[in-house]
């Protein structure tokens, strides 16, 4: 029986693609590597940012660190708000709270930004814990974020009572490595192919179907 639900943020609770891709585009432009196709930059939604800059643009660590700095220049003032909750998310959270579930956010995004976003959309009140990465790049790995969340909830010795909900293979694989089940959402930024391959407990198509799963 699950007692606590951990939610990813980008692609699970909020549709954040516009802000993220435009900030990546801004950073690449400043580094002299322009990319006009925002669609190609959707691979940056979900994974740790620095790791993705190194992988996508074949950057060394120092250049990727600079790219993250440029990304945050735009993100902290503009990109963070190019974002919106998915349909039915607030109602789902209200209902899960009513059912007495412990709720937490476990995101690879810096915790500072995660809290700002949840405050902006008036969603903070639904969560017992809000966990993200550190601004200095520490704790970006999904399993590390989940481990920190379990610790803060006091459930690191009761993993069978906790489940993750996310939209990318990183969520499913990170949860599995931490000994948790994971429900994947198909409306986010993960491809159907990657979600099927990562073998979550179930794939759902809306906030309503998440609620049905926990009914």
8 flagged as catalytic: yes
Cα 144 to Cα 125: distance, rounded to the nearest angstrom: 24
What burial class does residue 52 get, using C-beta atoms within 10 Å of its C-beta: 0-12 exposed, 13-18 middle, 19+ buried?
Answer: buried
Cα–Cα distance measured from residue 185 to residue 203, given in angstroms and rounded to the nearest whole number: 6
- Please count the residues of the chain: 215
CA neighbor of 132 nearest in space, from 41, 48, 50: 48
Which of 188, 89, 105 lies closest to 148, judged by CA? Answer: 105
Query: Known catalytic residues?
Result: 8
């Amino acid at each position: 029986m699950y007692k606590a639900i951990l939610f990813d943020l980008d692609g699970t609770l909020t549709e954040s693609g516009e802000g993220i891709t435009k900030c990546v585009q801004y950073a690449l432009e400043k580094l002299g590597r322009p990319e006009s196709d925002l669609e190609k930059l959707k691979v940056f939604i979900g994974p740790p940012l620095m790791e993705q800059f190194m992988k996508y643009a074949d950057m060394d660590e120092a250049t990727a660190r600079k790219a993250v700095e440029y990304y945050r220049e735009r993100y902290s003032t503009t990109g963070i708000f190019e974002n919106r909750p998915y349909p039915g998310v607030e109602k789902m959270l209200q209902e899960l709270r009513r059912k007495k579930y412990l709720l937490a956010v476990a995101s690879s995004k810096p915790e500072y930004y995660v809290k700002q976003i949840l405050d902006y959309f008036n969603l903070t009140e639904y969560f017992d814990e809000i966990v993200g990465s550190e601004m200095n790049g520490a704790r970006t790995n999904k399993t590390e974020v989940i481990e920190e969340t379990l610790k803060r909830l006091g459930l690191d010795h009761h993993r069978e009572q906790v489940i993750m909900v996310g939209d990318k293979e990183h969520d499913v694989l990170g949860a599995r490595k931490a000994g948790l089940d994971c429900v994947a959402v198909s409306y986010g930024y993960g491809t159907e192919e990657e979600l099927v391959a990562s073998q979550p407990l179930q794939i759902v198509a809306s906030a309503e179907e998440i609620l049905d799963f926990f009914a």
